[in-house]
Amino acid sequence: MSVTDIFDNSIYLPASFMNEQGKGFDEEIIATVSKPALVVEWIEDGHRQLTYFRSVDWHETFLFTARLLGNKWEAFSCTKNPPSYLLADLLKDGKQII
């Protein structure tokens, strides 16, 4: 399955990103990618990456990273309620584009 981000990139979601029941993907992941509050672009190991951040509830946030491999975007990581130092490092090292 794939999800389309705000830049019209189609991001492939591997099975490891399926919800706990194994029957699809959490709406929070889809909302984080399609309607982010913050997007940061950065390069790691020669790969362009986009990291999306969004609050999906009063006390629940998601940090989702996609990597450009060849000319295909693929989900790389997703962290629920990331610690503030991750956001600080991301903003220090990357370029905020939203």
Query: In the chain, what are the domain boundaries?
Result: 2-96
Contact 44, 50 (CB under 8 A): no
What is the rounded average pLDDT of the residues 26-42?
A: 90
pLDDT band at 29 (very low <50, low <70, confident <90, very high): confident
Summarised one tens digit per residue, pLDDT across range 37-52 is 999 999 988 899 999 9
pLDDT of residue 14: 81
pTM: 0.89
Lowest mean pLDDT among 11-15, 45-49, 69-73: 11-15
Partners of 42 in beta bridges: 49
